[in-house]
Amino acid sequence: MAQLTLVIGNKNYSSWSLRPWLAMKQFGLQFNEINIPLYTPESTIQIQQYSPSGKVPVLLHNNQAIWDSLAICEYLAEEFPHLHWWPEDKIARALARSISAEMHSGFQNLRQNMPMNCRAKLPGQGLTPDVQKDIDRITSIWREFRHKFGAGGDMLFGEFTIADAMFAPVVLRFVTYDVQLDAVAKNYLEAILAMPTMQEWIKAAEVEQEVISQYKV
């Protein structure tokens, strides 16, 4: 098998990087990691070496760059179909794609006001009424999908899928900003946090030294 290389940003800050990294780890893929600290004077040039969009994450495979977190996950799902990246059932799979796309393109208020910052503890910061609307929509997704599809495990569709990878950075934001959650959402958050792969990411974020002022609220 051709070598897989994932180019990512700082683990403390790069929410988009976490998504394919987590999915690749969860599905047991071996890959090289190239870490580029974001928002330094060299970052743009370094990222452009690998990524046509000038953004991370980007996957390098078979002399091809695949960029954007969701596109990377979709590519890997086609490349390694035996690993069940999406739910088996057609409707469940379509809905998993719907909520993944909703996460990918939405929740701007949450993103802006509660940027991912694994090391920080900022309870209550950034909680505007519009952010609360985003939180309410996210937790209603978690409740609905845990209820309808989650019986086979602790994830949104029971077993881990790309949809869980897409929501994993939100879990870290909810921890940093100490967002108040209902029981179902809290259980889901705890299940994501308990994954050894998430712990691996968090531990690596904790020892990073860079501080990015743009990511401070």
Ligand X SMILES: N[C@@H](CCC(=O)N[C@@H](CS)C(=O)NCC(=O)O)C(=O)O
- Binding residues vs ligand X (CB under 6 A): 9, 14-17, 38, 43-44, 55-57, 68-70
In the complex with ligand X, which residue's Cβ is closer, 38 or 92? 38
Beta-carbon contacts of residue 162 (< 8 Å; ≥ 6 apart)? 23, 70, 73, 74, 77, 85, 86, 96, 100
The number of CA neighbours under 13 Å toward the Cβ of 21 is: 27
In the complex with ligand X, which residue's Cβ is closer, 56 or 189? 56
Cβ 88 to ligand X, closest distance in Å?
25
Length of the chain: 217
What gap in Å lies between CA 145 and CA 114, rounded to an integer?
Answer: 24
In the complex with ligand X, which residue's Cβ is closer, 7 or 191? 7
Q: Is 10 helix (H, G, I), strand (E, B) or coil?
A: coil
Cβ 154 to ligand X, closest distance in Å?
25
In the complex with ligand X, which residue's Cβ is closer, 8 or 156? 8
The number of CA neighbours under 13 Å toward the Cβ of 63 is: 0
In the complex with ligand X, which residue's Cβ is closer, 94 or 101? 101
Cβ 141 to ligand X, closest distance in Å?
18
204, amino acid identity = A
Cβ 17 to ligand X, closest distance in Å?
6
User: In 12-32, which positions are buried (b, 16+ CB within 10 angstroms) versus exposed (e)?
Assistant: bbbbbbbbbbbbbbbbebebe
Cβ 62 to ligand X, closest distance in Å?
20
